[in-house]
């Protein structure tokens, strides 16, 4: 039996276990997905222990995504983003990846939204913002980062080729953009009814990805839909980062429909 798992603290709320277990069932795999919740200063020890136990792969979530960088051999994307959310133990040494980047790219692709040559605005300069900015820039978009703290936006933009930065007053750029990603927690419970982008900036030629998935339809997505924009809820990003991890671990095409059904059932 192959065993995969999730490293985080806390992990009780995670939807990764049912999503991955659904994949194993759909493909008839002899595999299980378990959770690990070590002390917050024990990321390196937890990775070493997982390798000793013969764990085939780990997902990594808060607060360990940065700490795990020093415990594995990160690929170029994870190194540039500065965070690892997937570890593969099948090689000679543990390899680290950031599948959040692929999650952004594949969420847009699934909705037939092109990235190359487009103008994109990313709201937020934290972990999700970094993943989104690199995903969009690597796929050929021109990226502008807007963040409440301008210095954080500028720091991220300095790392992303060709990116620009500004404060929340620069959100007016959304009116001329093709792509918008909300990578903040604004709109998430208990921030009921809030939105990170004024509705006046939204338009029909825009594609909007909101990384928030609880609630599944945020005020941002509701107002974007009303403006005629293409809307992509945060569960798609969550799904495709998991799909990417599954495919890296197993070398098999993920049963996307089964994983998506399990994920959305968990969100109800």
Each residue's pLDDT tens digit, 21-36: 999 999 999 999 999 9
Same domain? For 70 and 144 the reply is no
d(CA 125, CA 150): 9
Same domain? For 161 and 57 the reply is no
Same domain? For 44 and 68 the reply is yes
pLDDT digits (tens, 9 = 90+) for 185-223: 988 875 567 999 999 999 999 999 999 998 999 999 999
**Could you tell me which residues are beta bridge partners of residue 231?**
208
Question: The domain containing residue 137 runs over which residues?
Answer: 102-232
Same domain? For 72 and 147 the reply is no
Same domain? For 18 and 48 the reply is yes
Same domain? For 213 and 109 the reply is yes
Same domain? For 145 and 209 the reply is yes
Q: Which residue is listed with tokens 């009303």?
A: 226
What CATH number is attached to the domain comprising 150?
Answer: 3.40.50.720
- Report the pLDDT value the prediction gives residue 54, as an integer from 0 to 100: 95
Same domain? For 170 and 193 the reply is yes
pLDDT digits (tens, 9 = 90+) for 222-262: 999 999 999 999 999 999 999 999 999 999 999 999 999 99
What CATH number is attached to the domain comprising 80?
Answer: 3.40.50.10860
* Overall number of domains in the chain: 2
Which residues carry out catalysis? Answer: 65
Three-point CA angle 247, 251, 252, nearest 5°: 70
Same domain? For 36 and 124 the reply is no
- Report the pLDDT value the prediction gives residue 192, as an integer from 0 to 100: 63
Give residues with Cβ within 8 angstroms of 49, minimum separation 6.
none
Same domain? For 169 and 252 the reply is no
DSSP state of 205: T
What are the backbone dihedrals phi and psi of residue 37, each rounded to the nearest 5 degrees, phi first? -130, 75
Residue 216, CA atoms < 13 Å, CB-side half-sphere? 10
Same domain? For 142 and 214 the reply is yes
What stretches of 66-157 adopt beta strand conformation (E)?
Answer: 73-74, 86-88, 95-97, 119-123, 142-146
- Choose among 172, 181, 170: nearest CA to 231: 181
Strand 57-60 and strand 86-88: the pairing is antiparallel
pTM over 0.85: yes
- Report the pLDDT value the prediction gives residue 190, as an integer from 0 to 100: 53
- Report the pLDDT value the prediction gives residue 188, as an integer from 0 to 100: 84
Same domain? For 72 and 122 the reply is no
- Choose among 248, 253, 238, 209: nearest CA to 16: 238
pLDDT digits (tens, 9 = 90+) for 110-169: 999 999 999 999 999 999 999 999 999 999 999 999 999 999 999 999 999 999 999 999
């Amino acid at each position: 039996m192959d065993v995969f798992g999730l490293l985080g603290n806390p992990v009780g709320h995670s939807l990764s276990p049912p999503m991955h277990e659904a994949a194993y069932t759909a493909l008839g795999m002899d595999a299980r997905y378990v959770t690990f919740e070590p002390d917050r200063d024990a990321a390196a020890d937890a990775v070493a222990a997982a390798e000793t136990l013969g764990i085939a792969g780990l997902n990594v979530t808060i607060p360990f995504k940065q700490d795990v960088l020093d415990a594995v051999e990160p690929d170029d994307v994870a190194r540039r983003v500065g965070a690892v959310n997937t570890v593969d133990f099948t090689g000679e040494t543990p390899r680290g990846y950031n599948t959040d980047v692929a999650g952004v790219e594949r969420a847009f692709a699934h909705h037939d939204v092109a990235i190359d040559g487009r103008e994109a605005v990313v709201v937020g300069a934290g972990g999700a913002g970094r993943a989104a900015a690199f995903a969009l820039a690597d796929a050929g978009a021109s990226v502008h980062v807007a963040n409440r703290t301008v210095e954080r936006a500028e720091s991220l933009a300095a790392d992303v080729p060709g990116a620009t930065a500004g404060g929340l007053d620069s959100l007016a750029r959304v009116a001329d953009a093709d792509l918008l990603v909300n990578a903040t927690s604004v709109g998430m419970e208990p921030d009921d009814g809030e939105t990170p982008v004024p509705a006046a900036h939204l338009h029909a030629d825009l594609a909007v990805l909101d990384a928030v998935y609880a609630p599944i339809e945020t005020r941002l997505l509701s107002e974007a839909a009303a403006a005629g924009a293409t809307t992509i809820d945060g569960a798609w990003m969550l799904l495709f980062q998991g799909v990417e991890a599954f495919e890296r671990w197993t070398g098999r095409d993920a049963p996307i429909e089964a994983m998506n059904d399990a994920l959305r059932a968990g969100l109800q």
